[in-house]
């Protein structure tokens, strides 16, 4: 019985290490100031594991969980689909959002 508990604890610790490593890779080398996000995008850091990109004019929001590689559109206004291959980084998400914004402005 005791061996089983130790085994599960070891598995949990290993999962936590993997999650931390993927988080470090996802946020590596990013400057998350408003200027780096683009003119109409705002970057919010809620915690080490949860971030959000908000479009200032259109009102769409994307929640980002880099450690688990999840993106989710939140709010009443749906965010555009951002084609991002996994594994992605926060920098990839910001670049995709900025690219989408630039394409939208050009087509109008």
- pLDDT tens for each residue of 65-75: 877 778 888 87
pTM over cut 0.85: no
What are the distances in angstroms from CA 74 to CA 14, 16, 53, 63?
A: 31, 27, 10, 7
The gap from C-alpha 97 to its chain's centroid, in whole angstroms, comes to 11
Cβ-Cβ contacts under 8 Å for 4 (sequence gap 6 or more): none
Each domain of the chain, given as residue ranges in start order, spans 2-107
What are the distances in angstroms from CA 94 to CA 4, 7, 97?
A: 43, 40, 5
Q: What is the dihedral of CA 27, 30, 35, 37, to 10 degrees?
A: -50
- pLDDT tens for each residue of 82-95: 667 777 777 778 77
- pLDDT tens for each residue of 10-50: 888 888 888 777 766 666 656 555 455 667 788 888 887 78
């Amino acid at each position: 019985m005791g061996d089983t508990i130790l085994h599960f604890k070891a598995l949990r610790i290993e999962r936590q290490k993997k999650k931390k490593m993927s988080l470090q890779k996802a946020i590596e080398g990013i400057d998350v100031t408003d200027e780096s996000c683009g003119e109409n995008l705002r970057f919010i850091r809620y915690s080490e594991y949860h971030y959000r990109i908000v479009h200032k004019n259109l009102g769409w929001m994307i929640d980002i969980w880099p450690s688990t590689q999840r993106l989710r559109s939140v709010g009443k206004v749906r965010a555009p689909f951002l084609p991002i291959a996994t594994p992605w980084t926060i920098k990839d998400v910001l670049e995709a959002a900025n690219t989408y914004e630039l394409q939208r402005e050009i087509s109008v």
